[in-house]
Structure 1
Amino acid sequence: MSLQSDFGPGAARERIHNSVEVDLEGRFMLASGAEHPCRIVAMSTGEMLFSTPVRPRLGEKVIVYIAELGRFEGGVSRHEGEGFAIGLKLTEMKHRKLAEQLVWFANRDVLDLPENRRHKRIVPMLQWTIVRLSNGKEKTAKINDISLSGVSVEVNARPLVGGRVMVGSKAAKVVRLVDGGFVAEFEEPFAEGELDERIRL
């Protein structure tokens, strides 16, 4: 799979953004306040395609929450098959972050990524924590997402890949640097059932 897949026949003529197939559970809220479950089946940094029997009107504002990726919003751009698409409104930072995540989704089946996402990722309610680097310095950090096996954080630091850090009270090994932070794998993963949105590191 590559980032040059598309949502449907002829769609490439309408969008300049590359898309990638995904299979993610989510919930979306319409302008009326009604909430519905859905599956997100394709994404780019410009659009998101939903699989759902709900048919909101074109242009209607939609807010969607995906446990692995967080909160997004946008307007309904079209109806397609058994669902609809929204055009995403992203800040520059969130645009870069989503682009990195989509690269991972696109290549997860062919790349031997050291932080291979074996477990579902969540975005905790309390995202702020302290990162202690191998040199003893401490930095305030924001948790982008966390799983049983690892964590992605935004922090003003560039630790060495392979280096040991403390993310809150959890010891971890840095496996990849990203723009504005790093991804680390826990030395002792959480057990099944220990992790939910209320977790505090």
Structure 2
Amino acid sequence: MITVAAHTAPLASRAMLASDSRRHQRVSVALLGRYMLSDRREFPCQTVDMSPGGVRLTCAVLGELGERVVLYLEQIGRIEGAIVRLMPTGFAVQLNATPRKRDKIASQLTWLANRDSLGLPEGRSYERLVPVQAGIGLRFEGGRTAFARIIDFSMSGAAIASGARPEIGAAITVGSTPARVVRYFEGGFGVQFLLPISADRFHDGLVL
């Protein structure tokens, strides 16, 4: 079993990657999310690997070295830090977190690292909300439409109560948000959004 030890000592901002590899065990994990640069522009991203002290992201828009970044990651939640390395496909962030938050990240990463090897079920998102207005229109492949109810949602997907049963993998538009069907449950199905929704829409109660 893999364990990830949290370390509470401060890291030198320009030496995060070297010191992070010594102090923390980095976990290869692909988590969808969004990041906000200092000018408040938001973009989707995906993690490459992560430790309690830092995270490496794949993304389309690069920030500047030293720039503050706010991240919203599935399974992890809201974290922030500074860009310490730029790469052709993204950048690395040194996290600015309290010892308690780092301990929590370490526990989450340990669970993620061992989930597959232990045969654990796919976890639900770290943070899921119940929408203010649950009614939603669905548009299926071929143009058919239906009305349904959102049970709850995260930045990357939603659980939908509906009598319809589209095929797994089928394209579907939930409100105005493109998605695909990923699972069934009694009384409905789950979808994954093609891109994670923005943090503002997520925390404001979601209007898909």
Aligned pair in 2 of structure 1 residues 193, 13: CA closer, same or farther (>3 Å)?
closer
- SS of the counterpart of 1:32? coil
Structure 2 match to 1:68 = 75
TM-score by length of 2: 0.53
Question: Is 2:24 the counterpart of 1:20?
Answer: no
Question: Is 2:96 the counterpart of 1:89?
Answer: yes
Structure 2 match to 1:129 = none
Aligned pair in 2 of structure 1 residues 32, 78: CA closer, same or farther (>3 Å)?
same
Aligned length: 133
- SS of the counterpart of 2:93? strand
Structure 2 match to 1:192 = 189
Question: Is 2:42 the counterpart of 1:35?
Answer: yes
Deviations 1:53-96 (A, max 9, x none): 22211100000111322101000011134110110111222211
How many Å separate the matches in 1 of 2:187 and 2:115?
Answer: 22
TM-score by length of 1: 0.55
- Compare 74-83 and 19-28 and name the one that shifted more: 74-83
Aligned pair in 2 of structure 1 residues 189, 78: CA closer, same or farther (>3 Å)?
farther
Question: Is 2:125 the counterpart of 1:121?
Answer: yes
Give 2:111's match in structure 1, choosing from 104, 126, 147: 104
- SS of the counterpart of 2:116? coil
How many Å separate the matches in 2 of 1:87 and 1:190?
Answer: 43
**Are the aligned partners of 1:22 and 1:42 in contact in 2 as well (CA < 8 Å)?**
yes
Aligned pair in 2 of structure 1 residues 89, 107: CA closer, same or farther (>3 Å)?
same
4+ runs deviating over 2 angstroms: 1-4, 11-16, 188-194
What amino acid is the match of 2:125?
R
* Structure whose residues are more often helix by fraction: 2
Structure 1 match to 2:64 = 57
**What displacement does 1:192 show?**
2.5
Structure 2: unaligned runs, 5 residues or longer: 5-15, 131-157, 160-184, 192-201
What amino acid is the match of 1:27?
R
Structure 2 match to 1:78 = 85
How many Å separate the matches in 1 of 2:94 and 2:187?
Answer: 36
Cα RMSD (Å) = 3.5
Deviations 1:153-194 (A, max 9, x none): xxxxxxxxxxxxxxxxxxxxxxxxxxxxxxxxxxx9884259
Identity of aligned residues (%): 35
- SS of the counterpart of 2:83? strand
- SS of the counterpart of 2:128? coil
How many Å separate the matches in 2 of 1:19 and 1:192?
Answer: 34
How many Å separate the matches in 2 of 1:190 and 1:104?
Answer: 29
How many Å separate the matches in 2 of 1:42 and 1:190?
Answer: 36
Tell me: higher relative CO, structure 1 or 2? Use CA pairs within 8 A at least 6 residues apart.
2
**What displacement does 1:2 show?**
4.6
Deviations 1:1-29 (A, max 9, x none): 9568xxxxxx9744222110111111100
